[in-house]
Amino acid sequence: MVKLLPVPLGIGVLAGGLLVWERRARKHAERLGAATLETLLATIDANDAVTGAHVRRVADYSLILVDAAGFEERIRRSIERVALFHDIGKIHEAITDIFHDGSRLTPAERRAVMTHPLRGAQVLAPLAYFFPDLPEGVLCHHERWDGKGYPRHLKGTQIPISARIVAIADTFDAITHTRPYKKGRSVTDATNALLAGRGTQFQAELVDLFLSPPVMELIELSMAKTFAPSRKNQRRGRGKVSRPVPDITFRWRTVDAAPRQRDR
Ligand SMILES: [Fe+2]
């Protein structure tokens, strides 16, 4: 004869089982979201190793700034994701050849390039279920503090913090690293560009923090170690990377996983 549990005990066991099931389901969903991002990052690399290298450097510089600002882990991860995928719109077929061309951009090409934040946000929109602020951060990374950016001319704190931080890191890297269509310049040139945009293009407090000696020291260390495409492939605008890729996406696999030890 089947022996039934006392009713209160039976409900307790059922509730406990549901809780375990719910935790497992959440963990699976997090892994699926993170795996999707890793696949997308691999797709960027496969299409354009120069952009793959650029977004990793931007993510590294953004994280240095985020750590100096003392943001909580949830925001830190969100900013890291926006940094890694801010240029995913550039691998769209309407734009990608413009970057590999190597010549100066025509006005029409420039207009085409300016669609990349929207194209990127559209690519990432289905992932908003897992990462609600990712498409919006990517959409806003060319907005300016003074409202003269694009695509929506947002102003000041209307721009998500992720996009404000990525804008600084992106500009710094765009100036200091050679791209297929542009030769890299010095850290001093990049510093001057950030100072010129302080309070207009960029949030003044973030520029001050980025250019502070302790942060710049870490940025320069990162510049010395971060990978870049080989010279030959850099000239071609694509190809194999010459140094291993920092595993900065690995931390996303579970929400409660310990942050990766910074390898600097
Ligand atoms: Fe961009």
Stronger pLDDT, 211 or 179, i.e. the higher one: 211
pLDDT at 251 over 80: no
Ion ligand 1 neighbours, Cβ < 5 Å: 87
- Identify which of 76, 113, 73, 72 has the alpha carbon closest to the alpha carbon of residue 92: 113
Ligand 1 center to 12 CA (angstroms): 53
End-to-end CA separation in angstroms for the chain:
66
Instruction: Determine the pLDDT at residue 3.
Output: 63
For this structure, is 148 an active site residue? no
Average pLDDT, the chain: 83
Q: What percent of the chain has pLDDT over 70?
A: 77
Q: Say what the pTM is.
A: 0.79
pLDDT at 7: 64
Q: In the chain, what are the domain boundaries?
A: 10-245
Q: Compute the distance from residue 86 Cα to the ligand 1 centre, in Å.
A: 6
Is the CB of residue 98 less than 8 Å from the CB of residue 88?
Answer: no
Superfamily of domain 10-245: Hypothetical protein af1432 (1.10.3210.10)
Largest distance between two CA atoms of the chain: 85
Report how far ligand 1's centroid is from the alpha carbon of 98 (Å). Answer: 14
193-199 mean pLDDT: 98
Taking the centre of ligand 1 as the mean of its atom positions, its distance from the CA of residue 151, in whole angstroms, is: 11
Q: Which DSSP symbol is given to 144? A: -
Q: Average pLDDT of 64-88?
A: 94
- Environment class of 196 (CB within 10 Å of its CB; exposed 0-12, middle 13-18, buried 19+): exposed
Distance from residue 73's CA to the centre of ligand 1 (Å): 24
Residue 165: predicted pLDDT = 98
Of residues 90, 155, 183, 232, which has the active-site annotation?
90
Mean pLDDT of 222-245: 53
pLDDT in tens, 108-154: 888 988 999 999 999 999 999 889 999 999 999 999 999 999 999 99
Q: Model confidence at 178, in pLDDT bands (50, 70, 90)?
A: confident
What's the pLDDT score for residue 205? 98
